[in-house]
Amino acid sequence: MTQSILTDIKKAAKKSLKARKDALANTQTQMEVLNGDLFADGELPFFKDKIAETGQFPLKPKTLEVLQINVGYMCNQVCAHCHVDAGPDRKEIMTRETMGQCLEVIRNTGAHTLDLTGGAPEMNPDFRWFVEEASKAGIKDFIVRSNLTIILANKKYHDLPEFFKKHNVHVVSSMPHYTRGKTDKQRGDGVFDKSIKALQMLNEVGYGMPDSNLRLDLVYNPSGAFLPADQAAMEHDFKKALKEDFDIDFHNLFAITNLPISRFLDYLIASDNYEDYMYSLVEAYNPAAVENVMCTNTISVSWDGWLYDCDFNQMLDLKVASKVKHIKHYNDDVLNNRDIIISQHCYGCTAGAGSSCQGTVA
Ligand code: SF4
Ligand code: SF4
């Protein structure tokens, strides 16, 4: 990669694709890239043809286990590889009315896991109200995806560790690496030091301690155009380094593959890595991972209440292929009959040991 491309990517990474009016902010353009020559000319197989080889097309949902709700795309960070294209300039925020519709579904669905994500979900002005209400619904595993730095971003967020503890929230946090250089390269200057401080604050109230019920898991995703290494080996390395260097404890590490969409797609194209990356995803295709990709047990809800097979399809604006498309009309039986919408980005979920918001799947 030339120095000028690196400089351009770094500059661009201070704003979302949307704010930059980048062509890739348009999901149609992203889909054209994903369906482009590499696949249209037959160099690589379309994902649907690949899964058809093992009789897995069309991909169907199983029992709903996870309701993942994206409460807004606003974020205090602008990470280089963000699949949400989140940032301080994004204004899409879930209203209390839509949250109310989600609560109705949370109370009535059989899902055992509620997964709140963003952007930085804590930046939604109704976030605390929503957590308080949702925590009364008796959901077994209530996840909030926190980027850690938000805890230090403003005084009003400093008590988040106590707030999470009060509502027995399961905190899942991105931590691209246990070294400053690799973390700051992906997430911005100063992110590593703030993340370390936030993890120590979470440990102080009991999160992540070996025998604690207050769950604290970390998420790793590669900082470049390569696939994650073995999840268990990385967890071991992260635990050792964070304990020795900063006296930090956490429970599990989830290794997630970067999907070729949004800002990561932008990075792949700008750095001339798109074709090589797609080749490496297709070469690492693992049919066993298809069985458990997260769209088979998850429904994703956007800030404005639309329903998607997963957070990635949400970012590509691929709404569920069902008569029921909005949370206000939610119906388990109707949704369970749908075919899941797939495209070439799905190779990211089925490479190697597979990838989901909860780490590997095979
Ligand atoms: S913290 Fe998460 S949501 Fe925010 S920009 Fe980074 S990857 Fe995107
Ligand atoms: S990207 Fe979404 S739809 Fe495609 S396999 Fe992954 S979870 Fe399923």
DSSP string for residues in 119-183 = SSGGGSTTHHHHHHHHGGG--SEEEEEE-STHHHHSGGGTTHHHHHHHTT-EEEEE---SSHHHH
pLDDT of residue 13: 61
Question: How far apart are the CA of 159 and the centre of ligand 1, in A?
Answer: 21
- As separate numbers, helices (DSSP H) first and strands (DSSP E) second, the chain gives 16, 8
Q: H or E element: which one contains 34? A: helix 27-34
Q: What are the pLDDT digits (tens) for 272-284?
A: 999 999 999 999 9
Torsions phi, psi for 253 (to 5 deg): -110, 130
Residues in the chain: 362
Q: Which ligand is nearest to the CA of 357?
A: 2
Amino acid at 291: E
Look at the block and give the residue holding tokens 């458990």.
292
pLDDT of residue 176: 87
Q: Which residues contact 162 (CB under 8 A, 6 or more apart)?
A: 205
The answer to whether position 139 is within a domain reads yes
Supply the residue whose CA is at minimum distance from atom 1 of ligand 1.
Answer: 147
pLDDT of residue 6: 42
The answer to whether position 196 is within a domain reads yes
Residues of the chain with pLDDT under 50: 1-9, 11-12
The answer to whether position 254 is within a domain reads yes
Supply the residue whose CA is at minimum distance from atom 8 of ligand 2.
Answer: 295
Question: How far apart are the CA of 50 and the centre of ligand 1, in A?
Answer: 31
Question: How far apart are the CA of 145 and the centre of ligand 1, in A?
Answer: 10
Does residue 346 line the site of ligand 2, with CB under 6 A?
yes
Supply the residue whose CA is at minimum distance from atom 4 of ligand 2.
Answer: 346
Contact 239, 250 (CB under 8 A): yes
Q: Which ligand is nearest to the CA of 88?
A: 1
* Nearest ligand 2 atom, CA 355: 6
Q: Which domain holds residue 47?
A: 3-349
Does residue 340 line the site of ligand 2, with CB under 6 A?
yes
The answer to whether position 362 is within a domain reads no
Q: What are the pLDDT digits (tens) for 230-281?
A: 999 999 999 999 999 999 999 999 999 999 999 999 999 999 999 999 999 9
- How far apart are the C-alpha atoms of 294 and 166, rounded to whole Å? 29
The model's pTM: 0.95
Contact 164, 122 (CB under 8 A): no
CATH of the domain at 238: 3.20.20
Look at the block and give the residue holding tokens 């890595």.
273
- How far apart are the C-alpha atoms of 262 and 348, rounded to whole Å? 13
- The answer, yes or no, to whether the previous bond of 61 is cis (omega within 30 of 0) is no
The answer to whether position 260 is within a domain reads yes
How many domains, in total, are found in the chain? 1
The answer to whether position 100 is within a domain reads yes
Does residue 64 line the site of ligand 2, with CB under 6 A?
no
* Nearest ligand 2 atom, CA 311: 2
The answer to whether position 150 is within a domain reads yes
The answer to whether position 337 is within a domain reads yes
Q: Which ligand is nearest to the CA of 60?
A: 2
Question: How far apart are the CA of 230 and the centre of ligand 1, in A?
Answer: 23
pLDDT of residue 359: 87
- As for ligand 1, residues whose beta carbon falls within 6 Å of it are 75, 77-79, 82, 84, 86-87, 118-120, 147, 174
Q: Which residues contact 137 (CB under 8 A, 6 or more apart)?
A: 103, 106, 107, 114
- How far apart are the C-alpha atoms of 114 and 68, rounded to whole Å? 6
Question: How far apart are the CA of 162 and the centre of ligand 2, in A?
Answer: 34
Contact 282, 239 (CB under 8 A): no
